[in-house]
């Protein structure tokens, strides 16, 4: 096949060429400073994910205590407003980072906003009887501050050589996954604090800071935000951008600006990758959202059983995903990144959707007509498709979840890596904001798709649609396969001009 031809020789040659250029690009001291700053970016990505996930399990009981009788619609708004804020803010923050030509200023501004929003979340009792509105404001501000993800991805693209990009993006994605996993665990660890004393009537309350199982999430976020701000002090974080310098050296240009002007990104492949990223994240979010109701409908699990079993399965899936992130760099030394993206990321994710379409004999267990339709079977009165749907088998579902646990980390990492390389060494703040926004849009639309398609049409229509979308994205990527690579630099002169004398004795390249 085309994607497998000459893979080993080509990748070895690219790596050797990149390593050979590394000595002329920076000194050993500059390299250490550059990677120390990259590690700070990893922590920022971890913290932004944790800031979103740590409240997910506690936001409903916290809201119910602040505003007894609050509706589930209020809960949906409290959860959904955060990705909406990130969606709106990501391109704007990316534009700010491009205009400022540095990452520290916009990142610090958003981290300060994150700390203030988290402290507000921990003190919503002071805002009664308007606590619900203030909770929406706090979560929206957390979402806006989470647009830091776009700036972090842009900085990684500028601060890594092309040969380092895959490893850096994989580590960055791993940091995000760990944030999503650790967040609910920290909320659970705060449970022994208890719900705290009852709130006094709004007219009698005084200014008092509270620490309980609900406010702990806000205080933890605020503390981690302060630590993150300190990590961006000059002693820890020094902006060392190397991608443009690498392009300048490869082209033999006088300045980095000349090198950037000579390299034009491929907009067709860039937008194809943005759409493919949306489809990939949408698939994952949909399955994560549907997993509990799907298993309750198809296997007759009670709410308690579904939460226990799916909690264990999701934890196992997270471990598998972390292992995949760790294996991506070694795999890209054997296979091309484009091949892994198509036949590893998208093919496995599409297969996961197909495996979630009920194929088994018989149908799902039905909730008795005289029972409350609250779990333990498929409620035919609310979902008429239960009467005609086939049954889903446990091995089929477990295999599908395994496929998405492998395919999603492969796809999401390699899309970001290839996207960064396709854009070239130019500032990528706005483009990374667009990519981040595509992921936010998927997270916002996933729950809507569940209520509008799954509840009315069933798993066949739901997962058939996502499988078709994945196949369409795979075909689109296959059509632009030859363009999913860095823009070719203009021919370099016969003799490359030496860099300035400030790097006269380059040191060995050790990371």
- Beta-bridged to residue 360, according to DSSP, are 391
Average pLDDT over residues 317-330: 86
pLDDT tens readout for residues 58-78 = 776 777 777 776 655 666 677
Sole residue written with tokens 């902006």: 239
Residue 471 located in a structural domain: yes
Q: 50 and 169: one domain?
A: yes
Residue 504 located in a structural domain: no
Residues in contact with 120: Cβ distance below 8 Å, sequence separation at least 6, in sequence order: 134, 137, 138, 141, 218
Evaluate if residue 1 carries a pLDDT over 60.
no
Q: 318 and 336: one domain?
A: yes
- Looking up residue 412, the CATH number of its domain turns out to be 1.20.1250.20
Percent of the chain at pLDDT exceeding 70: 81
Average pLDDT over residues 490-508: 44
Q: What burial class does residue 474 get, using C-beta atoms within 10 Å of its C-beta: 0-12 exposed, 13-18 middle, 19+ buried?
A: buried
Average pLDDT over residues 186-193: 79
Q: 433 and 361: one domain?
A: yes
Sole residue written with tokens 């609900």: 214
Sole residue written with tokens 């007219």: 203
Residue 153 located in a structural domain: yes
Do residues 241 and 26 lie in contact, with contact meaning Cβ atoms separated by under 8 Å? no
Q: 109 and 192: one domain?
A: yes
Q: CA 481, CA 269: separation in Å to the nearest integer?
A: 8
Other CB atoms within 10 Å distance of the CB of residue 349: 27
Residues in contact with 508: Cβ distance below 8 Å, sequence separation at least 6, in sequence order: 23, 28
Q: 74 and 223: one domain?
A: yes
Residue 498 located in a structural domain: no
510 confidence band (pLDDT: 50, 70, 90): very low
Q: State the pLDDT at residue 503.
A: 39
379 confidence band (pLDDT: 50, 70, 90): confident
Q: 242 and 286: one domain?
A: no
Q: 289 and 216: one domain?
A: no
Sole residue written with tokens 């093919």: 347
Q: State the pLDDT at residue 257.
A: 65
Q: CA 298, CA 364: separation in Å to the nearest integer?
A: 5
Q: 251 and 275: one domain?
A: no
Evaluate if residue 301 carries a pLDDT over 80.
yes
- Domain total for the chain? 2
Q: State the pLDDT at residue 500.
A: 43
Q: 184 and 292: one domain?
A: no
Q: State the pLDDT at residue 191.
A: 76
Residue 511 located in a structural domain: no
Query: What is the chain's alpha carbon radius of gyration, rounded to the nearest angstrom?
Result: 25
Kindly state the tokens that stand for 15. 């790596």
Residue 492 located in a structural domain: no
Q: 294 and 331: one domain?
A: yes
Average pLDDT over residues 124-153: 85
Longest dimension (CA), the chain: 85
Which residue range is the domain that position 417 belongs to?
A: 264-366+380-486
Sole residue written with tokens 């959860």: 79
Q: Could you give the angle at the alpha carbon of 17 between the alpha carbons of 254 and 28, nearest 5°?
A: 75
187 confidence band (pLDDT: 50, 70, 90): confident
Residue 501 located in a structural domain: no
Residue 137 located in a structural domain: yes
Q: 246 and 123: one domain?
A: yes
- Ordered DSSP codes for 267-307: HHHHHHHHHHHHHHHHHHHHHHHHHHHHHHHHH---HHHHH
Q: 277 and 181: one domain?
A: no
pLDDT tens readout for residues 421-440 = 888 776 777 778 888 888 88
């Amino acid at each position: 096949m085309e994607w497998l031809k000459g893979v080993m020789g080509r990748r070895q040659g690219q790596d050797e060429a990149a390593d050979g250029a590394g000595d002329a690009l920076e000194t050993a001291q500059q390299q250490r400073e550059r990677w120390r700053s990259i590690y700070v970016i990893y922590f920022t990505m971890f913290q932004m994910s944790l800031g979103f996930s740590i409240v997910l399990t506690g936001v409903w009981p916290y809201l119910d205590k602040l505003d007894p009788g609050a509706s589930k619609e209020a809960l949906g708004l409290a959860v959904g407003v955060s990705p909406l804020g990130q969606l709106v803010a990501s391109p704007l923050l990316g534009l700010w980072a491009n205009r400022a030509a540095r990452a520290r200023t916009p990142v610090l501004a958003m981290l300060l906003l994150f700390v203030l929003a988290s402290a507000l979340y921990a003190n919503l009792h002071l805002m009664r009887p308007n606590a619900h509105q203030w909770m929406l404001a706090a979560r929206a501000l957390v979402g806006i501050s989470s647009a830091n993800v776009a700036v972090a991805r842009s900085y990684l693209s500028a601060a890594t050589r092309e040969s380092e990009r895959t490893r850096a993006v994989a580590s960055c994605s791993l940091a995000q996954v760990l944030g999503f996993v650790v967040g609910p665990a920290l909320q659970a660890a705060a449970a022994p604090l208890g719900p705290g004393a009852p709130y006094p009537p709004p007219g009698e309350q005084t200014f008092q800071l509270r620490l309980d199982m609900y406010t702990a999430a806000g205080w933890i976020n605020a503390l981690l935000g302060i630590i993150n701000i300190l990590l961006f002090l000059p002693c820890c974080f020094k902006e060392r951008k190397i991608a443009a310098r690498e392009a300048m050296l490869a082209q033999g240009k006088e300045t980095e600006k000349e090198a950037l002007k000579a390299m034009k990104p491929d907009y067709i492949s860039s937008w194809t990758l943005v759409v493919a990223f949306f489809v990939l994240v949408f698939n994952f979010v949909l399955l994560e959202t549907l997993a509990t109701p799907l298993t309750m409908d198809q296997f007759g699990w009670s709410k308690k059983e579904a939460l226990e079993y799916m909690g264990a399965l999701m934890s196992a899936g997270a471990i598998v995903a972390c292992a995949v992130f760790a294996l991506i760099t070694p795999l890209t030394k054997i296979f091309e990144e484009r091949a892994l993206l198509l036949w590893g990321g998208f093919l496995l994710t599409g297969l996961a959707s197909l495996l979630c379409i009920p194929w088994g004999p018989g149908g799902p267990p039905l909730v008795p007509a005289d029972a409350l339709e609250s779990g333990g079977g498929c409620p035919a009165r609310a979902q008429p498709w239960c009467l005609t749907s086939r049954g889903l088998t446990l091995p089929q579902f477990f295999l599908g979840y395994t496929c998405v646990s492998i395919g999603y980390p492969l796809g999401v990492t390699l899309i970001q890596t290839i996207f960064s390389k396709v854009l070239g060494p130019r500032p990528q703040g706005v483009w990374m904001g667009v990519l981040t926004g595509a992921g936010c849009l998927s997270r916002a639309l996933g729950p809507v798709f569940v209520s509008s398609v799954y509840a009315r049409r069933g798993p066949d229509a739901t997962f058939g649609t996502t499988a078709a979308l994945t196949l369409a994205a795979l075909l689109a990527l296959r059509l632009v396969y030859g363009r999913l690579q860095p823009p070719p630099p203009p021919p370099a002169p016969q003799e490359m001009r030496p860099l300035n004398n400030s790097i006269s004795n380059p040191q060995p390249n050790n990371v």
